[in-house]
Every structure is written in C-alpha cells, then in structure tokens.
C-alpha cells in the first residue's frame, strides 16, 4: 500500500492517462482498459485504495468530477442536432426509461434475489448509460449520424434522471414501509428537483449573458464556467441529494443553445478536463473495490441478472418504446444492444449501498457487486462489439479514411477525382456556389456553406473523414480553418497549402505557429498548383511492387513532379508528403503524384505501342 497521498495521486493520474493511451494505441475501449488497471492496482495487488486513503475527500471529489463530466456532455446537446431524431429520443428517455426501471426491478428481484426495496432503487440507477462511456464508444466506432446522436442524447439526458429516480424510489419505499419519511418528504424532493432545473437555467443564462456583453474577459471564461458548474451542482445538491446532476445538465443545455461563440471554443478545454476526470475517477472507483465484492460478482444470481439485462431487458425496452418512430430494424437492434453503464451508476450505487444498509434492507450488501458486474460486463461487451455489430448492420462509416477539402478550385477538384477513383471518401466544401460549379459537374460530393460556421457540425457528417486539407487561395483563411479543426481531427491529420511568399498574405513571421501541417514543401503554393493544373499536369497513381520500388519511382520522377500522398495497401490510411514527414512507401502502397503532361503523354504513348505489338 502506498503511504504517500501525493504519490498515490500521481499514480492515479499516470494509470488513468496511461490507460487512455493504451486504448488509443491498440484501438481498445478505454473504459475496459481503465477498469482492468484499476482492479489490478486496487483489490488484486493492493497498491492503492483511494476510498480509504482519501477519507472524507473521496466522495465530494467524485461527485464534483461527475458533475463536470455531465456538464461537458450537456454542452453538446444543441436542439438543432435533434432534428429528425426527436421522436425516438423522447420515447427512449421517457417510456423507455420507465420500462427499463420496471423490467429491471423484476429481474433484480426474481433473478438476483434482491428485496423489492433494493431492486426498485438499483434498477432506477441502471437506466443510465452516460457520456463517460457512450461518448468514447461513439468516437471509436464511427457510427452513422442517426444512431450515434440517439445514443448520445439518451446517455446525457437520462444520466441525471437515473439518480433522481433512485432517490424518488427510495423515498417512496421508506414512506410505504412506515419509516421516518412522510408525504412532505416526497413533495420536498419533487420541489427540489424543479428548483434544480430552474437553478441550472439561471446559472446558464447568467453566464451566457455576461459572456455576450463582455463582462468576463476571455482569459477568465473557462475558469468562470468551471466554478459556476461546481457552485450550481453544490447548491442544488445541498437542497436535495442527487439533484445537482439535474442542475448542471440544465445549465449545460441552456449554454449550448444560446449560440455563444466562446462556449464552442471553451468546449475543447472542457473535453480535456473531462477526459482527465473520467480517467482518474474510473481508476479510483475500481481500485476502491474489495476482494469480497469481486467474488460476489461471479455468483450465479448476479451473472444471470446481468445476462438478462443485456439480452432481454434492454432490447425489449428499445423495441417497445420506439414503435412508430421510423427507426429501421437495424437501428433498433444496435441501440437495443448498446447500453454500457459507467461512472454515474457506480457513484450513485455506492451512496445507496450505504443508505440501504443503514435502513436494514435485505440485499443492500450486494448493491455494489451487482452494480460493478453490470458496469464491467456491459462496458466490455458493448465496447468490443459496437464496431463489429455496426458494420454487420450497415450502420458504420468504417472504410477507407476520408478527406475533407476546404476550397473549390482546379487543384482540389482534380485531387478529389483521383481520391474517388481509389474509393476514398471525399467532400469539398466552399461558401461560393459559383466556385462549386466544377465540383458539381464532376459529380464530387460537396457542401455549400461556410465551414467555419457553427452550423457546420449539424450540416456535415464528419464521421467518414479522417483528414482535412485547407486548400483555398487565401493563406490567412487556410490558417484559420486549420487552427479551428485541429482539436477535432488532430494536428497530424490537418493540412494546409504552403504560404504564398510572393503573392499571398504576409504571414512569414507566424507561419511556424499556425495550426495544421504544411503540404508538400514551402516553395509550392496555391498559385503554383493551380498553374500546373492549367498547364495540363495530371494526377498519376503508381502502385509499388517488388520490381518497381519507391527508389525506382523517385528515379523516374521528373523535377517538376509534386508528390501528393501515399495510400497503405492494407488499411487505406493516407500519408501526405510534407517537409517534416519521412515517408517510405513499401510494396503494395499507392503513390499519388502531380506529374507534368509530358510524363503522362509518354505513358499514353507506351500503352499505345504495347497494344499495337499485341
């Protein structure tokens, strides 16, 4: 056991972020990796025990972290996104949640052998999925927009209601069993829930208004929102336990729908904090479990309950609640299978485990074991199967990585045509209908609109695209587009045309600080590329073989040839040629290059001679 509080805090951080990196590196569900690491460091090896070591700080820290995570998720709930999916989302978060509660209660009582009191409380907790598990799964699975949005909205909206329903169920049970609770307790809880929603609305409006009129400087905005979230959660939670989650969800949704530009910019900061907190909390929760809890997980009753929840309750709830909503059978199957439980379920369950035990309800000692069993098995089952199932049902955008090109011109259109020939998804976006003329004529997918507009995330499905190229004639605009989308695509996959030293914007002094990698080399700008296209330069696809290697390709290249990218034979992954990238294509890889017309003319001539000789 680690004796130093500071060392333990460091270990939690290292294990959490290390788990995230391992998950990213080997394409594994992050929650699964964190759960395994937490179990190894806690009950199995006895390295740390955060609940015991942190003492009274443990629960407040977990609660505030969950509030921040839930607020960050609710910042993504813009009502514009729900267009076309409002009916199924409403049904799932209302009738679906109610059915899930009832069926889950029956399963807990008759299969897991829990008392009715305990069954009703924990089944209320288990209606939640939550952003801590759903959002990472959606990022890795690349689902098509409709099922992805439904799962995201369900996870974020139902999250606070699960905790509230558990409190409500507990109050009803205490009231009906003739304990200390009275009808006034129930009315007070309902009143406190309404107050929590209003409190979140007030906090959201106050923050939004102060940002809009410039009452808060830019450098304080992220900190101000963070403190406001903690204050909103704490005040509501002090009024009535577990209503704080409802308050921060309300606050996040209000801010998300006020159309404030700085909130969108701040979202990346919130996402970074959310990832850090999710990593730390999951390590802390799993490391704080006991060996006795783990042993109980493998009892036949608990395993049977988990299997029933996985294969009967969830699918049945989705199929019944989405009747007449227009969802396809494939979408119902996928949504009916995907329902991983996460941090909120574990934290709320740990609270009620102690409360139910204090009131001597039979089965209270099994609450933590049942909860962890459902969390771990659903996270593993859904984390490893979502991508496979989505592909089988035709609901995945998986395939060759796509390219999103900002700017319609001769170079970008010709490049897009070549990418299409290789079955690479490509989309050209431009704010000028006139400039999109050649794109429309060529039959290339396009988006007419400003890519920097806040409407872009609702009008363009970004899922198929792994790379972004800013290829307009304006250097400053290319730089702005690159910097804007670096957080979404990642710095290594955002590219822009080189700055035009002679005719473009004077950006030499800041060139090295601009987001996005420079394509090709610094001496080939927009004017050079478009001029080459006008002179008849063509895109050529060269597949390397054992007889024709990359060295042979380089030897045959004319000095004017511009090497564009390589495509890996196995995965379809693209690597663009840049000054700072060392690319060594191998056998089977395809190289795309912009070649002089003479080179292409000679290739055509050689083919004609070969045909005549045959």
Residue 233: inside a domain, yes or no?
A: yes
Angle at 93 between CA 89 and CA 99, to 5 degrees: 125
Q: Closest Cα to residue 592, out of 552, 542, 556, 533?
A: 542
510 and 437 part of one domain: yes
Interhelix angle 261-287/343-358, nearest 10 degrees: 50
Residue 8: inside a domain, yes or no?
A: no
Helix (H) or strand (E) holding 546: none
Q: What is the CATH number of the domain that holds 187?
A: 1.20.1530.20
Residue 70: inside a domain, yes or no?
A: yes
Residue 522: inside a domain, yes or no?
A: yes
pLDDT digits (tens, 9 = 90+) for 536-584: 888 988 888 888 888 888 888 888 888 888 998 777 888 888 877 778 8
Residue 52: inside a domain, yes or no?
A: no
Q: Which pLDDT value is given to residue 335?
A: 92
Q: Which pLDDT value is given to residue 300?
A: 92
Q: Is 139's pLDDT higher than 70?
A: no
Q: How many residues appear in the chain?
A: 614
Residues 116 and 118: their CA atoms lie apart, in Å, by 6
Q: Is 178's pLDDT higher than 90?
A: no
Q: pLDDT: is 287 or 396 the higher one?
A: 287
Least confidently predicted of 131-135, 507-511, 543-547:
507-511
Range 39-74 burial, b when 16+ CB lie within 10 A, else e: bebbbeeeebbbbebbeeebeebbbbbbbbbbbbbb
212 and 108 part of one domain: yes
Question: What's the pTM value of the predicted model, to 2 decimals?
Answer: 0.71
143 and 213 part of one domain: yes
Q: What is the CATH number of the domain that holds 536?
A: 3.40.50.720
Q: Which pLDDT value is given to residue 305?
A: 93
Pick the last residue of a domain from 328, 362, 392: 392
pLDDT band at 235 (very low <50, low <70, confident <90, very high): very high
Pick the last residue of a domain from 367, 392, 417: 392
Residues 602 and 614: their CA atoms lie apart, in Å, by 19
Helix (H) or strand (E) holding 466: strand 465-470
Return left, alpha or beta for 178; rule: phi > 0 is left, psi -120 to 50 is alpha, else beta. left
Q: Is 165's pLDDT higher than 80?
A: no
Least confidently predicted of 33-47, 361-375, 498-512:
498-512
Domain that holds residue 146: 58-392
> What helix, strand, coil percent values describe the chain, rounded to 5?
65, 10, 30
Pick the last residue of a domain from 357, 392, 427: 392
373 and 425 part of one domain: no
Q: Which pLDDT value is given to residue 265?
A: 62
Q: Is 359's pLDDT higher than 70?
A: yes
422 and 543 part of one domain: yes
Least confidently predicted of 57-66, 494-503, 594-603:
594-603
Q: Closest Cα to residue 367, out of 166, 568, 197, 232?
A: 166
pLDDT digits (tens, 9 = 90+) for 338-348: 988 877 777 77
274 and 349 part of one domain: yes
Q: Is 221's pLDDT higher than 70?
A: yes
318 and 409 part of one domain: no
In order, the DSSP letters of 29-50 are -HHHHHHHHHHIIIIIT-S--H
pLDDT band at 396 (very low <50, low <70, confident <90, very high): confident
pLDDT band at 104 (very low <50, low <70, confident <90, very high): very high
Q: What is the rounded radius of gyration, in angstroms, for the C-alpha atoms of the chain? A: 28
Return left, alpha or beta for 114; rule: phi > 0 is left, psi -120 to 50 is alpha, else beta. beta
CA distances from residue 15 to 1, 41, 140, 383 in whole angstroms, order as listed: 16, 9, 21, 20
Residue 415: inside a domain, yes or no?
A: yes
259 and 309 part of one domain: yes
pLDDT band at 263 (very low <50, low <70, confident <90, very high): low
Q: Which pLDDT value is given to residue 12?
A: 92
423 and 456 part of one domain: yes
pLDDT band at 485 (very low <50, low <70, confident <90, very high): confident
382 and 437 part of one domain: no
Residue 316: inside a domain, yes or no?
A: yes
433 and 284 part of one domain: no
Residue that the structure tokens 């759903």 belong to: 134
pLDDT digits (tens, 9 = 90+) for 415-459: 999 999 888 889 999 989 999 988 998 899 999 988 887 667 667
191 and 281 part of one domain: yes
pLDDT digits (tens, 9 = 90+) for 151-161: 888 887 777 67
The answer to whether 401 and 152 have CB atoms below 8 angstroms apart is: no
Residue 14: inside a domain, yes or no?
A: no
Counting the structural domains of the chain, the total is 2
Q: Is 81's pLDDT higher than 70?
A: no
């Amino acid at each position: 056991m680690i004796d130093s509080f500071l060392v333990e805090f460091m270990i939690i951080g290292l294990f959490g972020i290390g788990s995230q990196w391992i998950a990213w590196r080997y394409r594994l569900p992050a929650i699964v990796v964190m759960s395994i690491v937490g179990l190894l460091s806690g009950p199995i090896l006895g390295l740390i025990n955060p609940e015991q070591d942190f003492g009274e700080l443990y629960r407040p820290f977990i609660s505030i972290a969950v509030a921040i995570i839930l607020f960050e998720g609710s910042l993504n709930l813009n009502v514009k996104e729900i267009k076309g999916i409002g009916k199924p989302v409403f049904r799932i978060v209302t009738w679906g949640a109610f059915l899930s509660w009832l069926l889950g209660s029956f399963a807990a009582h008759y299969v897991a052998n829990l008392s009715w009191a305990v069954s009703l409380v924990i089944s209320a907790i288990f209606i939640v999925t939550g952003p801590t598990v759903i959002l990472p799964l959606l990022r890795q699975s690349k689902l098509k927009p409709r099922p992805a949005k439904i799962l995201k909205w369900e996870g974020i909206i139902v999250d606070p209601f699960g905790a509230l329903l558990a409190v409500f169920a507990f109050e009803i049970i205490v009231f009906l069993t003739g304990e200390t609770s009275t009808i006034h307790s129930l009315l007070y809880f309902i009143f406190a829930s309404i107050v929590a929603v209003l409190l979140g609305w007030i906090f959201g409006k106050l923050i939004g208004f102060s940002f809009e009129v410039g009452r808060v400087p830019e450098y304080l905005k992220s900190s101000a929102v963070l403190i406001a979230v903690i204050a909103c959660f704490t005040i509501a939670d002090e009024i009535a336990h577990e209503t704080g989650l409802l308050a921060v969800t309300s606050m996040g949704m209000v801010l998300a729908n006020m159309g404030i530009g700085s909130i969108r910019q701040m979202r990346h900061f919130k996402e970074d904090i959310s990832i850090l907190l999710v990593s730390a909390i999951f390590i802390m929760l799993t490391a704080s479990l006991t060996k006795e809890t783990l042993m109980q997980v493998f009892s036949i009753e608990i395993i049977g309950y988990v299997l029933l929840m996985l294969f009967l309750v969830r699918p049945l709830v989705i199929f019944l609640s989405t009747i007449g909503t227009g969802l396809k059978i494939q979408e119902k199957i996928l949504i009916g299978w995907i329902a991983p439980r996460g941090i909120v379920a574990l934290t709320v369950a740990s609270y009620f485990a102690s409360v139910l035990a204090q009131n001597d309800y039979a089965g209270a000692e099994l609450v933590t074991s049942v909860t962890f069993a459902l969390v771990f098995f659903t996270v593993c089952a859904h984390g490893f199967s979502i991508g496979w199932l989505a592909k089988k049902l035709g609901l995945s955008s998986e395939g060759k990585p796509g390219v999103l090109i900002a700017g319609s011109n001769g170079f970008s259109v010709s490049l897009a045509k070549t990418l299409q020939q290789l079955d690479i998804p490509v989309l050209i976006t431009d704010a000028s209908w006139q400039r999109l003329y050649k794109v429309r004529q060529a039959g290339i997918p396009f988006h007419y609109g400003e890519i920097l507009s806040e409407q872009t995330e609702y009008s363009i499905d970004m899922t198929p695209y792994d790379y972004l190229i800013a290829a307009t004639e304006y250097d400053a605009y290319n730089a702005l587009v690159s910097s804007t989308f670096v957080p979404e695509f990642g710095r290594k996959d955002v590219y822009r045309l080189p700055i035009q030293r002679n005719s473009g914007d004077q950006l030499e002094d800041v060139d090295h600080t601009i987001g996005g990698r420079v394509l090709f080399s610094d001496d080939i700008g927009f004017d050079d590329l478009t001029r080459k296209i006008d002179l008849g330069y063509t895109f050529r696809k060269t597949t390397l073989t054992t007889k024709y290697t990359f060295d042979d390709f380089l030897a045959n290249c004319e000095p004017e040839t511009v090497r564009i990218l390589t495509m890996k034979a196995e995965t379809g992954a693209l690597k663009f040629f840049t000054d700072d990238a060392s690319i060594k294509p191998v056998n089977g890889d395809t190289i795309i290059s912009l070649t002089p017309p003479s080179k292409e003319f000679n290739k055509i001539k050689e083919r004609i001679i070969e045909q005549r000789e045959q």
